[in-house]
Amino acid sequence: MDKRKLVVSTGNGHKIDEIKSILSDFDIEILSKNDIGLEEFDVIEDGETLEENSIKKAKELAEKTDYMVIADDTGLFVNALNGEPGVFSSRYAGEEGNSKKNCEKLIQNLEGIEDRSAYFKTVIALITEDKKVFKADGLCKGTIIKEAKGENGFGYDPLFVPEGYNKTFAELGNDVKNKISHRALALEELKNIINSLI
């Protein structure tokens, strides 16, 4: 029998590697949308919440394939900024996916503010081959430092120090991050869901 396949609604190699490593216990082939010829596939993320965006992305991808699909949405929520950048995390500075500009804008907006507490949240939507929808989420609390540190990771990782640590996600490296991050926790919950489906 062929391996079950799981298509992830991303072309981001970092994300695929992270997901493969966390779901390595399962006999499932993990593919990016690019692997199934959907490089151009894109979904307008116009939901007001991470849940809305991840479910919308998963549903639109599920219409294009018969495999299981997952889509996630992640946001960084800074308490002193009323939850900004939140659902706009990847385009905070106005340009989709420009991490350097996003980090610069965040540092600027937090200038002179003492409360630098924040949390990352990931919501993953899973749609099975028979189009049932499941949802998993994960949350990681921490603080935002005043200048970027570390070479690993992506997005806001160089600015975010998770609770209980004195280094940023970008300094801690993937081994630690893949155990404690918001996405890792959401994927752990997803593992339980997949386990119940297999």
> Which residues does the annotation mark as catalytic?
73
Distance CA 51, CA 93 (A): 22
Compute, in degrees rounded to 10, the torsion defined by CA atoms 147, 180, 74, 144: -20
Chain centroid to Cα 194, Å, comes to: 18
Distance CA 167, CA 175 (A): 14
Determine the 3-state secondary structure of 7 from DSSP: strand
CB 109 within 8 A of CB 103: no
